[in-house]
Amino acid sequence: MGALRAGLLGVGMMGRHHARVLRELDGVELVAIADPGGDPHGVAGDLEILPDIDALIAEGLDLAVVAVPTRFHEDAALKLAAAGVHTLVEKPIAHTIDSGHRMVDAFREAGLVGAVGHIERFNPALQELRTRIAAGDLGEVYQIATRRQGPFPSRIADVGVAKDLASHDIDLTSWVAQSPYETVSAQTAFKSGREHEDMIAMTGCLENGVIVNHLVNWLSPMKERVTIVTGEKGAFVADTSTGDLTFFANGTIPLEWESMTVFRGVSEGDVTRYAFPKREPLRVEHEAFRDAVLGLPSDVVTMAQGLRTLEVVEAALRTAAGSRRAQTPDGVMER
């Protein structure tokens, strides 16, 4: 069997990285690129920059990557599904839940692989974390907390911080815990004068009882990408900016300090920072997509999973938009 013929729609800030990885991926040949805005980063090389999705499809593709603004995902994906092309769309899956449903249905009915680029799931720290949790290193999982904050990215204009960033945390949390969300609520803020929210604080519970919370914003000069999983035997801290994973074990040494013995619960134990291979997440994601196309075992993020993530984001935004403050007699504000 020859190499899979791949096409790429969109060569902006993210698309340029897709182009690089597709060119380096075993068993895949990047044969066509389309972008109505041209080639701002000069990644096309010997390939002609095609004007639109129709011209891309005409090149005869086995698989495609869609890396254009979210509002254009549905149109491109439905055309690719109709043409029989396996497709990976960047996250979020779509700009509305209805669009996401149409995309999921189209690829399912066509018997094609439809995937969503929730790249954090392929971060080496989270891959190692998931492996260790599955092996029982943490025991029962109690809570998953994430912090994802940093400066506003000028390239994002069509969605807010919830769909652009919090969607990462929702996908990785459900995947790490191997359980979907059962409840979610949120608060949002609009501090930069834009149409969409630039800060969100979410809390919820997964179907398996794990408590979750996510703090996400585009308002901090400090970039942070941290996932903390607390459980029966201690806590894992995954830094996805560096790919590091650290385990804080519950203490096993009896406390002799009298003032500390009155506190019930765990104590500080050994701290271990793990060493493991750290491969580029985008490359691992593309390998998973390629393997899924070939019918091999794969942990690719399916469109159905991507839609579920979007549904959780939308539910959180609805709770934030519909919340009301009430004044209590003592002047404390409560929900």
Domain-embedded: residue 292: no
Q: How far apart (Å, rounded) are the C-alpha atoms in residues 88 and 85?
A: 10
Cα distances (Å, whole numbers) of residue 327 to 17, 189, 331:
51, 20, 6
Average pLDDT over residues 118-125: 97
Are residues 130 and 242 both part of a single domain? yes
Q: How high is the pLDDT of residue 255? A: 55
User: What does the pLDDT read at residue 290?
Assistant: 98
Tell whether 333 is covered by a domain. no
First to last CA, the chain: 60
> By the 8 A CB rule, do 317 and 214 touch?
no
* CA–CA distances in Å: residue 271 to residues 126, 135, 247, 248, 307: 18, 19, 6, 5, 37
- Looking at the 3D structure of the chain, how many domains does it have? 2
User: Which alpha helices (H) appear in the chain, and where do they start and end?
Assistant: 15-24, 53-57, 73-82, 97-110, 124-134, 161, 167-177, 258-261, 281-293, 303-322
Are residues 86 and 183 both part of a single domain?
no
Query: Could you tell me how many residues make up the chain?
Result: 335
Of 50, 80, 112, the domain-final residue: 112
The band of 258, judged by pLDDT with boundaries at 50, 70 and 90, is low
Specify the pLDDT at position 300.
96
Claim to verify: residue 138 and residue 82 sit in the same structural domain: no
Q: pLDDT tens-digit profile of 15-52?
A: 999 999 999 999 999 999 999 999 988 999 999 999 99
CA distance 204 to 206: 7
pLDDT at 324 over 50: no
**What pTM does this model have?**
0.90
Task: Please name the residue ranges forming H helices in 25-59.
Answer: 53-57
Q: Give me the domain span that covers residue 163.
A: 121-278+314-320
The answer as to whether 51 is a domain residue is yes
Which pLDDT band holds residue 155 (cuts at 50, 70, 90)?
low
Least confident of 129-143, 167-181, 225-239, 313-327: 313-327
Residue 55 burial by Cβ neighbours in a 10 Å radius (0-12, 13-18, 19+): middle
Token pair recorded at residue 301:
């993020």
Note whether 248 and 99 are same-domain residues: no
Strands of 11-96, DSSP E? 28-34, 49-50, 63-66, 86-90
The tokens describing 263, both together, are 């506190």
Q: Tell whether 160 and 33 lie within a shared domain.
A: no
- Of 12-16, 229-233, 291-295, the range with the lowest mean pLDDT is 12-16
For residues 205 and 268, state if they share a domain.
yes
* CATH code assigned at 73: 3.40.50.720
Q: Is residue 166 part of a domain?
A: yes
Of 271-285, 306-320, 321-335, give the lowest mean pLDDT range: 321-335
Instruction: Give the CATH number of the domain where residue 147 resides.
Output: 3.30.360.10
Neighbours of 97 (CB within 10 A): 15
pLDDT in tens, 51-108: 999 999 999 999 999 999 999 999 999 999 999 999 999 999 999 999 999 999 999 9
Q: What is the DSSP string of 208-235?
A: TS-EEEEEEESEEEEEEEEEEEEETTEE
The amino acid at 55? A
Torsion of CA 90, 95, 97, 99, to 10 degrees: -80
Domain boundary among 78, 112, 146: 112
Residue where a domain terminates, one of 92, 112, 132 = 112
Q: Is residue 330 part of a domain?
A: no
- 166 and 76 share one domain: no
Tell me which of 70-84, 131-145, 170-184, 317-331 is least confident.
317-331
| pLDDT, position 327 | 39
The residues near 223 (Cβ < 8 Å, ≥ 6 apart) are 149, 150, 151, 241
